[in-house]
Structure 1
């Protein structure tokens, strides 16, 4: 009887914790249809990082302003995005990403930019969850934000007051390389 009680109690605790975790995750929606995006479509890679866990709970990308992760973000952007969006986000076949104009206004927030990358948009911008893991998407987003060249006050919600303190419009300089304490996921080629 006691074992049954302990198992029942453990099961109930698991349900409460799982339910709380599910409630903590904000919904992500398609910028085209508004339907909820299924984050399980991306598979497990990248979901165990502090950055992704923080992002799904808060919508805050902790890679923004993290100099250790810029080089990896640049590497990902150049291999996955620059063909359409230009080497510095100036736009080519796809829209520019380094200014205040967003084809989808959701791009002014990190949550919205993630929704565009993850779920795709109209035209040639297909969903990227099959090509990049979710953590790589966050690093790429940090690089895109690093490329911003306009006035800080016009940037949108992503450029918080804390980030504005150190903000300098993109000048074309190479990003710093990851330091010795950089997260493993932020190291180039890894």
Structure 2
């Protein structure tokens, strides 16, 4: 009887400890300090899966550790982000993020409040959401997603005070997108022109 009771206590202890241990593990890939969680289910997502490449840039390494997107105001990345957005996102969200079948992305209303942060928006892009918003981790790698996020943030038309993704310094110098604005291929920055 004592052995059976001890075994039950051990199993109960293990059942309680295992989920806590699992939560303590970095579950978003081997190089992350941030746990990216699915926008709908809250489950941890593995950023090591998905489209190959785009995990070794300084911007991705920084983002995976801190949640800061180094591309936010880099014009070379905005050019790429626009191109990637037009290919992957504009069919549902509109050419300027104004919304079509999917919600607008250029104002201060967010269907999923977590998307007010770049970590939240990355998680929605990576793992998808409700309705027709499927995951984009097979067609965009993490570096490309950061460029798309930079473009989405650049399209923002809401009050700059509500732009949580901008630092206080960036808020002081923020210039909203103007339709027709373009970026030269040779503009200096962190992002090389897309092929």
Deviation for aligned residue 1:174: 1.9
1:55 aligns with: 63
1:128 partnered with 2:136: yes
1:162 aligns with: 169
1:174 aligns with: 181
| Structure 2 unmatched ranges of 5 or more | 1-25
What TM-score, normalized by structure 2, do the two folds share?
0.80
Distance in 2 between the 1:87 and 1:182 partners? 24
Distance in 2 between the 1:23 and 1:92 partners? 36
1:186 aligns with: 192
Report the number of matched residues. 168
Distance in 2 between the 1:152 and 1:172 partners? 18
Q: Is the 8 A contact 1:63 1:69 kept in 2?
A: yes
Deviation for aligned residue 1:33: 0.4
Identify if the C-alpha distance between structure 1 residues 80 and 22 changes in structure 2 by more than 3 Å, giving closer, same or farther.
closer
Q: Is the 8 A contact 2:74 2:189 kept in 1?
A: no
Match of 2:94 among 86, 91, 112: 86
Distance in 2 between the 1:167 and 1:107 partners? 19
Report the more deviating stretch, 169-178 or 25-34. 169-178
Q: Is the 8 A contact 2:31 2:61 kept in 1?
A: no
Q: CA RMSD in A?
A: 1.9
What TM-score, normalized by structure 1, do the two folds share?
0.82
Q: Which has the larger radius of gyration?
A: 2
Identify if the C-alpha distance between structure 1 residues 167 and 23 changes in structure 2 by more than 3 Å, giving closer, same or farther.
same
| Large movers: runs of 4+ above 4 Å | 21-24
SS at match of 2:56: coil
| Deviations 1:137-180 (CA, angstroms, capped at 9, x unpaired) | 0000000000001210122x202212112212222132322436
Distance in 2 between the 1:180 and 1:88 partners? 22
| Deviations 1:75-106 (CA, angstroms, capped at 9, x unpaired) | 00001000000000000000000000000001
1:119 partnered with 2:127: yes
Kindly indicate which of the two structures has a greater share of residues assigned to helix.
1
